Amino acid sequence: TDPALIRNFCIIAHIDHGKSTLADRMLQITGAVDDRQMRAQYLDRMDIERERGITIKSQAVRIPFTALDDRTYTLDLIDTPGHVDFTYEVSRSLAACEGAVLLVDAAQGIEAQTLANLYMALENDLTIIPVLNKIDLPAAQPEKYSVELAGIIGCEPSDVLRVSAKTGEGVEELLNEIVRQIPPPVGEAEAPARAMIFDSVYDTYRGVVTYVRVIDGRLSPRERIQMMSTRASHEILEIGVSSPEPTKCEGLGVGEVGYIITGVKDVRQSKVGDTITSLNRPATRMLEGYQDPKPMVFSGLYPIEGTDYPVLRDALEKLQLNDAALVFEPETSAALGFGFRCGFLGLLHLEITRARLEREFNLDLISTAPNVVYRVEMEDGTEHVVTNPSEFPAGKIAAIYEPMVKATVLSPSDYIGQIMELCQERRGDLQGMDYLSEDRVEMRYTLPMAEIVFDFFDHLKSRTKGYASLDYEPIGEQQAELVKVDILLQGEAVDAFSAIVHKDKAYTYGVEMTKKLRELIPRQQFEVPIQAAIGARVIARENIRAIRKDVLAKCYGGDISRKRKLLEKQKEGKKRMKMVGRVEVPQEAFISALSTD
Ligand code: GTP
């Protein structure tokens, strides 16, 4: 294809602002998909995505479009994932485009995540086409939000397009504007091939399907290619485009977007952001921006049935084929038995992984409270990277570092006070504040990642009646006064409950945990003290009083069959009991204590 006739673009939108509906409408209007094939939300394939109404994996689709100049253009729509955990994937999808449609719900206005992705698109020098969607809604306020959008991107309110993805109104005009405003790709056709991977998906039948954007040169079937980050080489078995069903082709040239299949079975061999070149005539420089996926949040995953351990291992291995960011290693917990310490990009990534394990592999799981990664410098000069609080080093500590994020909150200005209060409680630092319009404000904070990844968003939503939106990205680490709090049963630390917290919050954590456990653990034959401690210093204590009589006592000498029944019942119950020292703890207690609500 002549690059002059190609337009590569993506749609930047907040969840529910109508990205998938607009993509569907474009496919339908251009005839890329006929009405019979048309099913709602063509681009979102995964069940969990559809259920939760979020797009996780990006994909590309080719849309042929005859513009007002009567020439037929190839529009490549690259879908971007819609959640903060996947910022890096978003950045690579944007890097594969020359332009972006900024799609905003005309009844809602722009949201924090959209703004963050817009900034990223501007950093990548993309042409931005501002569009208000859902103008068919009675609650739409196109005048108000055109002014807001124009203010943010620096155009005239009249330049903001208005569409209804639902009815199709304005969508053809939008396609024409994409052709008119977004520049065609430029690259060197004769140079050694360079293509950027912006997505990589494992398919049971075809192996890994790698989505690429060719920058220079050309990729052809049967050619041997090389991954520039690892130097590993593969043969291209199939090359094609999604239109939107996978369709084989004779190769991809400058500016083209498509997929390749090499027979590799694991997405870690075909990583997002990597550069593909040809083995015979390799390029000398990789494309910029490649990063190894880096897990940010760790949690222990344990099967509730101990015999499910091998099933869990196989399941994690299978998921890893399609998830370069998922890491895991075996871990044993005195409280929970055999399991795995798993690393995730963020909390949503964790939730999705857990939901898939439970649903697709029929596993019942218990997970420990998620934690971020800490770096500990010791006075003797050694250094520890802590991904599990119970492995926090003992000894003289010189400094502890925790990961930080840069957060953007967008909200009606009525809630500024509540937001400031919340961010202060979470050790946040206000960096700046801007009014987007007279009643909407953008606030920028730096916050410890540990304070934001877990329940921050829920608190933000409830304090702003659901109106605030949030986006954040990691910005390195910062030293902090952190301590490890242990929870002890009869003097014995329960590994699953150890936590690393700020010293000002240690006491609250200790009191809450000991209270919770006192309620959850049944009385034993003897008194059980529950303590929270920092090192040897106890900061909170509760007691479980002893039961006065032995259960069996009243049976002695009595009816033997009744006694056996009672023993059997106890045995049944014991299967679900874990011993911590001499204390029997029902597994239920761990599950309840570890659940966040
Ligand atoms: P994700 O891809 O899941 O992030 O969301 P999305 O941005 O793709 O939103 P989606 O296309 O799923 O649309 C969200 C909701 O808005 C759906 O219920 C759509 O039917 C509705 N919707 C989308 N466009 C329009 C529109 O132009 N008018 C009206 N009235 N509803 C729309």
43 alpha carbon to ligand 1 midpoint, in Å? Answer: 13
The secondary structure element, H or E, covering residue 52 is helix 47-52
133 is in an annotated binding site: yes
Ligand 1: which atom is nearest the Cα of residue 49?
3
Tally the C-alpha atoms within 13 A of residue 156's C-alpha that lie toward its C-beta.
Answer: 2
Residue 485 CA to chain centroid, in angstroms? 28
- Report the length, in residues, of the chain: 597
Tokens, residue 85: 């955990």
71 alpha carbon to ligand 1 midpoint, in Å? Answer: 30
User: From the first residue on, what is the mean pLDDT of each consecutive set of 10 residues in the chain (597 residues)?
Assistant: 94 89 89 63 49 50 93 92 76 93 94 87 94 96 94 93 96 97 96 94 85 96 94 94 87 95 88 93 91 88 90 92 88 86 89 88 88 95 92 91 94 94 95 90 95 86 88 91 92 87 92 89 86 92 77 53 60 60 76 66
110 alpha carbon to ligand 1 midpoint, in Å? Answer: 15
∠ Cα 343 349 355 (to 5°):
105
Ligand 1: which atom is nearest the Cα of residue 133?
27
Q: Is the CB of 550 under 6 A from ligand 1?
A: no
Residue 162 CA to chain centroid, in angstroms? 31
Residue-level pLDDT at 395: 85
Residue-level pLDDT at 582: 77
502 is in an annotated binding site: no
Q: Is the CB of 13 under 6 A from ligand 1?
A: yes
Residue-level pLDDT at 56: 40
Residues 17 and 104 sit within 8 Å (Cβ to Cβ): yes
Residues 492 and 580 sit within 8 Å (Cβ to Cβ): yes
Tokens, residue 339: 């399991």
Q: How far apart are CA 74 and CA 179, in angstroms?
A: 9
Q: Is the CB of 19 under 6 A from ligand 1?
A: yes
Residue-level pLDDT at 59: 73
Tokens, residue 397: 């500590």
Residues 299 and 368 sit within 8 Å (Cβ to Cβ): yes
16 is in an annotated binding site: yes
Tokens, residue 10: 């993506």
Q: How far apart are CA 59 and CA 47, in angstroms?
A: 15
The predicted complex's ipTM stands at 0.97
Best mutation site among 14, 16, 133, 348 for ligand 1 pocket (most ligand atoms within 8 Å of CB): 16
How distant, in Å, are the alpha carbons of 174, 524, 558 from that of 547? 74, 6, 21
DSSP state of 312: H
∠ Cα 341 87 205 (to 5°):
70
Reference 144, options 431, 515, 439; nearest CA is 439
Residue-level pLDDT at 205: 82
124 alpha carbon to ligand 1 midpoint, in Å? Answer: 27
∠ Cα 316 318 320 (to 5°):
70
The secondary structure element, H or E, covering residue 226 is strand 224-227
Residue-level pLDDT at 84: 64
20 is in an annotated binding site: yes
Crossing angle, helix 19-29 and helix 171-181, to 10 degrees?
90
With b for 16 or more beta-carbon neighbours within 10 A and e for fewer, the 388-397 pattern comes to bbbebeeeeb
How distant, in Å, are the alpha carbons of 21, 24, 70, 411 from that of 168? 10, 10, 21, 30
Bridge partners of 532, per DSSP, are: 487, 540
Residue-level pLDDT at 35: 61
Residue-level pLDDT at 322: 79
Q: How far apart are CA 195 and CA 262, in angstroms?
A: 15
